[in-house]
Amino acid sequence: MMINFTSSSAKRLERMRTVQCEALCRMAADSSVLLGLVEEFVSGQVDSKSTETAAGVKAGQFTVLQLVEALGLSLTSSQPQTRARGVQLLSQVLLECFSSLSENEVEVLIAFYENRLKDHYVITPHVLQGFKALTKCSVLPPGSAVSILRSIFQDVHVQSLMLAERSCVYNILINLMESREQELKGLGADFVFGFVQSVDGERDPRNLLLAFQVARNIVNKGYDLGKFVEELFEVTSCYFPIDFSPPPNDPLGITHEDLVLCLRAVLTGTPRFSEFLLPLIIEKLDSDVQSAKVDSLQTLAACRQTYSHKEFAEFLPGLWSSIRREVFETASERVESAGLSALGTITSCLSRSVLDSDSEDALQVFLNLVLKDCQHHLCEPDLKLVWPSAKLLQAANGASYRASLIVTSAVIPALLEQYNNRTECAERRTLLEVIQGFVLPTPLSRPAEGEESVFVPFQQSLASVVFSALSESSVGLQVTATRVLAALGQQAGLFTSPDVEKAVDHLTRLSLEEEDSQLSLAVEECSGSLAHLHPKAFISRMIPRLKEEIFSDPATVSERLSQYNGAVRQRCVMVLASVSSQASVVTESAPVLLQVVASAHEGSSGFSVEEVISVCISLEKIAQHTRDTEEIGQFFNDIIIPRLFGLVLKAVLLSDRSPLTDEAVLSAIVPVISTACAGLKTELASHMASQAVNLFLNGDVSFLPENDFPSQIQLLQSHAESRGPSKLVCLLMACVCSFPRNVDIPEIDRLLVQLEELSCTSPHVFAYTFAAKCFAGLVNKRAAGKALDAVLERVLKRISVELENVSSTQRTQAFTLLLWVAKALLLRYHPLSTVLTDKLFALLSDPELGSKVADGFCVLMSDSPDVLNRNCHADVRIMYRQRFFAENSSKLVHGFNSEEQEKKSCYLKALSHIVNNLPRQVQLTELPALLPLLLEALSCPDQEVQLSTLSCLQPVLLDPPAALNNQLEALFTRLLALTTSPAMKVKIASIRCVHALSHLPEHMVLPFRARVLKALALPLDDIKRLVRKEAVSARAEWFLLGSPGGR
């Protein structure tokens, strides 16, 4: 036993010894590895060894302490280069491993580095790197931030360091300010002084961005500036205004704008700089350099947040005279708008001052200055300075409520008096336009709760001026007056109800009597905005009057207004639509419009087809409100839609001559119904859906008013005679294809079968196209599944059979159905869509259908206005166009290349339709591949292809992709050849493209200048003025290219 025991314990001892030995050996090995690395780095100058060492430290192979020990010899070497190399290794390792250091280690290292700063100058850069690593440590011991900075400020002259080391110092500051704000603040003004000293003289833009960041932190975070306010200002403001243009190719990625914004944040960051900044701005505003002026003014405007009236006080006269001079004399809009916003800033800062009893109100004093210099110019409405003066006053006026009280009380009475004294319309118009600028309050000057509008004192006189202007004969004056009226009407408490009534009367009169299109538009807008607030006045005064006018006997009207009767009706109809945004108005106005449709059907009052169409457009405009107002939806559901259906049905079934059977009218009714149905809430929509389906499938007319229809009506049967009821399928489409997707369409399968039949067999374009669209609209929204698959399989089979039968008379019908179903499936990314579009591609070479198919790609790629768009809640996936293009462009190119010469144009046409509808971003990326084909298309003799390609090229040329560079020669040759095309439109489009090319970088297009100028001289003498006009503007740009003062 004993022996056994001893022997086993001896074995254990033995084993322990081996383990220890192995560990020792490994340590020895590790330390020799480390020594090797150090040796290679320091003496061998192998830079990559630092990463290996860092990796070793990270992996726990050796500690930082061991590294320092291993560095021992190099750090104590008598050669400064060797010592530097040693420190460099340590710093580089620390930069990678700073996060794993302990507080003790950091403390020791800091002490070491601080000491090294006093060593030879070649070591300093590496010490700074070390500090940078240590300042990123989260375990920085208390007090060390201060001590690091003290030693840097004391021992390093930052500006004699290299670029990277200076950047290192700024980074140390940024790191410490982030993590040790309280400690640094303890340094007091010394910190600011140290920073000022280290940054003084910096020139590199990268470092300046860092330095500005430090400075901004200093002023924003409340560091003690002590007596160094001026020094800190000096050391940053010496860069103002920034003059920097990035080197070519922009290797730094720093823009002029970056520097400007960064510096501006420093300079405007504290009110303590104001006594230095404001004189500096005044001085720089005298500069000849426009960008300096703009920068100065924008800097002034940026003081809005930090300054109060105290800062501005003593500089107000100087600032004002500089701003005034700039706005009065400049030719540049940028200077003007910067000046106006600077004035706004000053005014709003002054408005924040607290009034006290014994001193003057600073705002009042300043605005008196502004008023004194500007107001008298307002009395000279025909001279140039009236506008700059008005803009200055308006900028001050919009800065605060208090300011607007002061300005309006001085300016408005004077303007009103001027208006009444002047007699010329042009002058009155200018005055009224100036008034218009004062009338709308800005967000800053809007009256607060409990304050009343600043215009209340002038309410009477303003209203009377506006009304008198409305009765003038000058259109310009009337337009301005309408705008002022709309602006006044929107502010509470400015209009009494007699005023509103008077305004409504004026608007009614203007819509009945005035011809000018600009004025009509202004009247519509104004009526729309006022009717939203005062519906009653419009219901009682305007609508009856308009109704009377619409239905007045053309014979009596023609005596009064000769040929303008149609135009008057047209305007009345438009105004009716624009005032109808409230349910109470709609219930009055929409029936009037419906009555027009009814009497057009009956043939009374002599309404033309065009008039009925414009009524439909108005109804559509009103129908858009069903979306937001439920009562309006209810009204359309109960009254308007059934009445429209009833009227059209009656027209189609009973009378042959009714204008309602006209296809143009039917197409105009479609959007009315579709817009209304799209806005219905789910319950109403389901109800409407079942009514419509019942009507079309079963001939159930019970929901229609004036129910006197024949008992057996079949609306979805194909009829040989052209006025058959089959064209009503467009109304079915408008209705059932527009509901939200969660609305179930009853008996949808039967409906689809009948629609398919109609679209394949009807001989009439209108009927079979709408049947196909309706079919497609339903298929697009139908949930995926067996039912849908069955429908698609059936219809595809039928289409194939029809198309393959070359002698069939119904191939066009089959193609139309194919096109629309393809679109329906393409939009929702249905897997079958490729099958269908491939069929379309194959048809491009069909001798009979080819050209139609090419145009069909336009249908496929563009938004269709009446069906399959997002407004009718269709299932439209984003970027379906890109997807389609990506999948199919190669097929087109291939088809084009393998086709015979005569048939190529179909491919080009299809291609240009597709590219034309792609989003610009995609066009740009795809252009390189397509450019040769598009150039080919330009030389294709088909004018339609030329036009379509030009219209697709022109927007691309405004911002051309790099791929264009190699093709410029070919492009210019073809474009310039087209400028003498026999077709006017081609000439115009090609000249526009040539015009666009002048905006390309000068070095690319300058070689073509002489050639272009010579070629464009020909269209200058074209027989068509429109062509000459394009040629003149394109040639003017090309003359400026490469010429001094040009571009």
- Name the residues that contact another protein, by CB under 8 A: 285-288, 290, 322, 325-326, 328-334, 377, 380, 382-387, 426, 983-984, 1017, 1020-1021, 1023-1026, 1028-1029, 1032, 1035-1036, 1039-1040, 1043-1047
Q: Which is nearer to another protein, 353 or 474 (CB)?
A: 474
Up-side HSE of residue 552: CA atoms within 13 Å toward CB? Answer: 21
Q: Which is nearer to another protein, 746 or 1042 (CB)?
A: 1042
Residues 990, 971 contacting (CB under 8 angstroms): no
Q: Compute how many other C-beta atoms are within 10 angstroms of the C-beta atom of residue 962.
A: 9
User: Phi/psi at 251 (nearest 5 deg)?
Assistant: -65, -25
Tell me the closest approach of the beta carbon of residue 436 to another protein, in angstroms: 17
User: Sign (positive/negative) of CA torsion 389, 390, 395, 397?
Assistant: positive
Tell me the closest approach of the beta carbon of residue 904 to another protein, in angstroms: 27
Tell me the closest approach of the beta carbon of residue 1043 to another protein, in angstroms: 6
CA distance 756 to 590: 35
Q: Which is nearer to another protein, 322 or 912 (CB)?
A: 322
Tell me the closest approach of the beta carbon of residue 1027 to another protein, in angstroms: 9
Measured CA to CA in angstroms, residue 845 lies from 810, 840, 892, 905, 950 at distances of: 18, 10, 11, 10, 24
Q: Which is nearer to another protein, 216 or 429 (CB)?
A: 429
Q: Which is nearer to another protein, 383 or 958 (CB)?
A: 383
CA distance 630 to 675: 14
* Burial of 218 per CB tally in 10 Å (0-12, 13-18, 19+): buried
Q: Which is nearer to another protein, 149 or 294 (CB)?
A: 294
Q: Which is nearer to another protein, 382 or 417 (CB)?
A: 382
In angstroms, how far is the first alpha carbon of the chain from the final one? 107
Tell me the closest approach of the beta carbon of residue 246 to another protein, in angstroms: 21
Q: Which two tokens stand for residue 634?
A: 């209810």
Q: Which is nearer to another protein, 83 or 1035 (CB)?
A: 1035
CA distance 858 to 906: 12
Tell me the closest approach of the beta carbon of residue 687 to another protein, in angstroms: 48
Q: Which is nearer to another protein, 340 or 927 (CB)?
A: 340
Q: Which of 776, 898, 885, 858 is nearest to 825 (CA)?
A: 776
Q: What is the dihedral of CA 590, 594, 595, 597, to 10 degrees?
A: 150
Tell me the closest approach of the beta carbon of residue 320 to another protein, in angstroms: 14
Q: 3-state SS of 696-740?
A: HHHCCCCCCCCCCCCCCCCCCCCCCCCCCHHHHHHHHHHHHCCCC
Tell me the closest approach of the beta carbon of residue 285 to another protein, in angstroms: 7
Tell me the closest approach of the beta carbon of residue 257 to another protein, in angstroms: 17
Q: Which is nearer to another protein, 814 or 1016 (CB)?
A: 1016
Tell me the closest approach of the beta carbon of residue 1044 to another protein, in angstroms: 4
Tell me the closest approach of the beta carbon of residue 260 to another protein, in angstroms: 18
- Residue-wise DSSP of 121-154: TTTHHHHHHHHHHHHT-TTPPTTHHHHHHHHHHH
Q: Which is nearer to another protein, 326 or 926 (CB)?
A: 326
Tell me the closest approach of the beta carbon of residue 385 to another protein, in angstroms: 4
CA distance 106 to 138: 10
Q: Which is nearer to another protein, 172 or 285 (CB)?
A: 285
Residues 91, 130 contacting (CB under 8 angstroms): yes
Tell me the closest approach of the beta carbon of residue 513 to another protein, in angstroms: 22
Q: Compute how many other C-beta atoms are within 10 angstroms of the C-beta atom of residue 164.
A: 13
Quickly tell me which residue has 């009853």 as its tokens: 746
CA distance 724 to 722: 5
Q: Which is nearer to another protein, 336 or 611 (CB)?
A: 336
CA distance 1012 to 995: 10
CA distance 329 to 326: 5
Q: Which is nearer to another protein, 886 or 983 (CB)?
A: 983
Up-side HSE of residue 277: CA atoms within 13 Å toward CB? Answer: 29
CA distance 300 to 948: 51
Tell me the closest approach of the beta carbon of residue 389 to another protein, in angstroms: 10
Tell me the closest approach of the beta carbon of residue 426 to another protein, in angstroms: 6
CA distance 729 to 724: 11
Quickly tell me which residue has 């409100």 as its tokens: 625
User: For residue 232, what are the contacts with CB-CB under 8 A and spacing of at least 6?
Assistant: 192, 195, 196, 215, 218, 219, 225
Q: Compute how many other C-beta atoms are within 10 angstroms of the C-beta atom of residue 717.
A: 14
Q: Which is nearer to another protein, 931 or 988 (CB)?
A: 988
Residues 427, 382 contacting (CB under 8 angstroms): yes
Q: Which of 121, 41, 147, 58 is nearest to 95 (CA)?
A: 58
Tell me the closest approach of the beta carbon of residue 937 to another protein, in angstroms: 22
Tell me the closest approach of the beta carbon of residue 375 to another protein, in angstroms: 14
Q: Which two tokens stand for residue 284?
A: 């720089």
Q: Which is nearer to another protein, 79 or 518 (CB)?
A: 518
Up-side HSE of residue 66: CA atoms within 13 Å toward CB? Answer: 17
CA distance 262 to 154: 28
Q: Which two tokens stand for residue 802?
A: 């029809």
Q: Which is nearer to another protein, 785 or 1044 (CB)?
A: 1044
Residues 565, 554 contacting (CB under 8 angstroms): yes
